[in-house]
Structure 1
Amino acid sequence: MISRDSNLYKNIVTTWKAQGEQWLLQFPSHIQKIEALWNLEPIKPLDNLSFHFVGTSIRKSDGIEVVVKTGCDIESLDRERQWLRHFGGVAAQVIESDKALGATLMERLIPGETLKQSKQFSDDEQTIILANMIRELNSRSIISGAFKHIAELSKDLDVLKGAVDSRMLDKAKGIISELTLDRSQDCLLHGDLHHDNVLKHKHSWKVIDPHGYVGDPTFEMAVMMYNPLDSYPVNRPLRKTLERRMEILNEHINFDMQKMKAWAFAAAMISTAWDYGDTKKLLGIPFLVAQELRS
């Protein structure tokens, strides 16, 4: 069911190596166990999967359309399940889960169109939708659990030593250090909130695929500055788009402009580090965004 030529297969092997290869080897029987456990019709994989398997099915007992998510990184999937349950109403609903199988059964969002796919909205209108989502998420109190603090992401930058201007690296580390000193206002963050992770469900929007971090509420806006990589307006320079998005966020959430710019830079550098760790190349929008925001 998972082709050796697919990005999902390659990403699993690259990221989890022997553990990933073993999981892929057992995948057919793994899916059969999930189908039997929750009395599901054969699970159909979604397109363009990256690091985890996600598929749709129908529960035989009541005909409800569902989504199944599973993967070999059981601990991260369990944190995701905790996060989704905490943000019930604004996040896709968790129906069932099985930690031993690393599997979660969720409601299927209908029509399930992502914010990026919603071409009827301008970039300004999409940014307002994301601002409203951020405000809703930030209104929830923190919960206990094994969620990483965003301060820990600083060490991920070390892979860039010698590959980028040391001043950019020092700036990113300095921002993370400075903006995580005071943790009195910390909250539970999605950590990967962008246009591909907000989906239309009936007459509202719901969020999926959280990373799940604890930290400064303003950090929540940072990822949407560089991701998805192909959702920028083509009729204006990148810098103008970044500035305009921050203006809208400032207007609708009252986030401080300088703090937003700082977090957007730091987050873009972290994404650059992750990319470089995999490819040993400085490619893509995150590094371009970091360069735009470095001053």
Structure 2
Amino acid sequence: MIDVPEKFARGTVQREGRPGAEWIAGLPATVGELLARWECAPDGEVMHGAVGIVVPVRRRAGGAAVLKVSFPHPGNAHEPDAFAAWGGRGAVLLHERADEHFAMLLERVGPSTLAEVEEGDEAVRTAGRISRRLAVPAPPGLPRLRDRAGAWEAELQQAAAELDHAMSRRAVEAAVATVRELGRDQPDTLVHGDLHARNILRADREPWLAVDPKGYAGDLAYDGGTLLTSRVPVLLGSGDLGKALNRTLCVFAEAAEIDPERARRWAQFHAVRAAFWERRHGSFETRGFVPLLDDLAELLV
């Protein structure tokens, strides 16, 4: 029987209410059932992210792995589909899956992430190369990002009308234009969907492997936008944020073999959308990030 980390349990209940409390109460039994099914034994301290736990295990057949169990949510449903499509190419291997429990048995990698690489260009270049390796034809059944374009446009326009914000009309209109011009015409390419440096971990089988994908079908440049917005706190130390943003865009685009202009437009969209989301839903701790998102939205227009 595992011990569910207290911080994770508390955060899940605060976010999900009664369903979260019920899920947490049953989580040790769920993990026990999966360990027995897949003939594994716990092999280290239970770790966690925002929506799931990761249990280091040893497989009876030999070798280290991790058991990941996530809170049941549509946003977590296609993670194993993405891993299955990649087959270990640029991402951790999927050994087993139990979709009824939102659970997977995955290849174990190290705790070190790409965010710890001090050389900025090398970190961005590595992320770009990973993104390119993950760009394979999307399997049927994955959510198509083009199908979200209408909702994105409505969301942006509603937030601009309802919320007090410091972004210019020009910045908001640029994000809406990206949705209209790029969002509705996207290829059926598998993209990670949440590609940032903390989701790329150092490994033995390959130098770096991706984890925690959303599993979307869409524009590869979408991931470039996600990565860029996540890099802004690091880029602030450059002394010239605009210049650092442009360099990051070019380095990522070259490594990922994408159009840097598309990556810039998606990044600007992500910045505007994130700024509105934080104003509406963000915690006290994360709302301090809003002025930086506003600046990013303006610089990328």
TM value normalised by structure 1:
0.85
Pairs within 5 Å for 1:170-249: 170-183=173-186, 185-202=187-204, 203-227=206-230, 231-232=234-235, 234-249=237-252
The CA deviation at 1:93 is: 0.5
Corresponding residue number in structure 2 for 1:129: 126
Q: Which residue identity is paired with 1:283? A: G
Percent of aligned positions that are identical: 22
Secondary structure of the corresponding residue to residue 42 of structure 2: coil
Match of 2:163 in 1: 162
State the partner residue of 2:116. 117
Aligned to 2:86: 87
Report how far residue 3 of structure 1 moved. 4.1
2:271–2:297 contact (8 Å) kept in structure 1: no
Say if 2:272 is the partner of 1:269: yes
Comparing both structures, which one devotes a greater share of its residues to helix?
Answer: 2
Pairwise mapping of residues 2-13 of structure 1 onto structure 2 (< 5 A)? 2-4=4-6, 6=7, 8-13=8-13
Q: Distance in 1 between matches of 2:51 and 2:134?
A: 24
Say if 1:75 and 1:294 are closer, same or farther in 2 by CA, change over 3 A.
closer
Q: 1:43 to 1:228 in 2, by over 3 A?
A: farther
The aligned amino acid for 1:287 is: L
User: What secondary structure sits across from 1:211 in the alignment?
Assistant: coil
2:244 match: secondary structure: helix
The alignment yields a C-alpha RMSD, in angstroms, of: 2.7
- Measure, in 1, the Cα distance between the counterparts of 2:86 and 2:9: 30
The answer on 1:144 being equivalent to 2:140 is: yes
What's the offset of the Cα at 1:224? 0.9
Q: Is the 8 A contact 2:113 2:197 kept in 1?
A: yes
**Structure 2: 5+ residue runs without aligned partners?**
none
5 Å-filtered alignment, 1:18-33, equals 18-33=18-33
Q: CA separation in 1, counterparts of 2:48 and 2:242?
A: 29
Q: Residues 284 and 63 of structure 1: is their aligned pair in 2 closer, same or farther, counting only changes over 3 Å? A: same
Which residue of the partner structure matches residue 297 of structure 2? Answer: 291
- Aligned-partner Cα distance in 2 for 1:229–1:33: 42
Is residue 64 of structure 2 the alignment partner of residue 58 of structure 1?
no
Q: What SS class does the counterpart of residue 287 from structure 1 fall into? A: helix
Contact 1:148-1:212 at 8 Å conserved across structures: no
Render the CA deviation track for 1:132-180: whole Å, top value 9, x for unaligned: 1122222x11210142425526155445632324724343222112112
The 2-side partners of 1:45 and 1:230 are apart by 30
Q: Quick one: distance in 2 between partners of 1:46 and 1:231?
A: 29
In structure 2, distance between residues paired with 1:43 and 1:72? 22
**Distance between the aligned counterparts of 1:55 and 1:208, measured in 2?**
15
Is the CA contact (8 Å cut-off) linking 2:48 and 2:54 kept in structure 1?
A: no
